[in-house]
Amino acid sequence: MKKKLLSGLLCAAMVGTLFVGCGSSADTGATEDAGASTESTDTASTDAEATTDSAAGGATGTYALVPKSAGNPFNEKEADGFTEAIEAMGGTAVVQYPESATADAQITVIESLISQGVDSICVAANDENALQSVLEEAMDAGIKVCSVDSSVNKDSRAVHCNQAGVDEIGLALIDAVYDISGGEGQFAILSATSQATNQNAWIDSMKSYMESDSKYANLELVEVAYGDDESQKSTDQTQALLQKYPDLKVICSPTTVGIAAAAKVLQDQGSSVKLTGLGLPSEMAAYIGDGDDFSCPYMFLWNPIDLGALGAYTSVALVNGEITGAEGDTFTCELGDYTVVSAADGGTEIILGAPFKFDPSNIDEWKEVY
Beta carbons within 8 Å of 354's beta carbon, 6+ residues apart: 14, 18, 19, 20, 24, 28, 164, 165, 168, 302
156 vs 113: CA distance, rounded Å: 16
pTM attached to this predicted model: 0.73
In sequence order, the β-bridge partners of residue 226 are 191
pLDDT, tens digit only, all 370 positions of the chain: 333 334 443 443 433 333 333 333 333 333 333 334 444 333 333 333 333 343 445 889 999 999 999 988 889 999 999 999 999 999 999 999 999 999 999 999 999 999 999 999 999 999 999 999 999 999 999 999 999 999 999 999 999 999 998 999 999 999 999 999 999 999 999 999 999 989 999 999 999 999 999 999 999 999 999 999 999 999 999 999 999 999 999 999 999 999 999 999 999 999 999 999 999 999 999 999 999 999 999 999 998 999 999 999 999 999 999 999 999 999 999 999 999 999 989 999 999 988 999 999 999 999 988 8
**Would strands 348-351 and 341-342 be described as parallel, antiparallel, or unpaired?**
antiparallel
Do 300 and 356 contact (CB within 8 A), yes or no?
Answer: yes
Burial of 345: CB neighbours in 10 Å, binned 0-12, 13-18, 19+ = middle
Q: What is the pLDDT of residue 57?
A: 56
> Sheet of 185-191: strands edge to edge?
219-226, 185-191, 248-253, 274-277
| Total residue length of the chain | 370
Report which of 288, 301, 276 is spatially closest to residue 355, judged by C-alpha positions: 301
Q: What is the torsional sign of CA 210, 254, 98, 313?
A: negative
SS3 content of the chain, % helix, strand, coil (to 5): 40, 20, 40
**DSSP conformation class of 220:** E
- Tens of pLDDT, residues 282-329: 999 999 999 999 999 999 999 899 999 999 999 999 999 999 999 999
Q: What is the pLDDT of residue 1?
A: 34
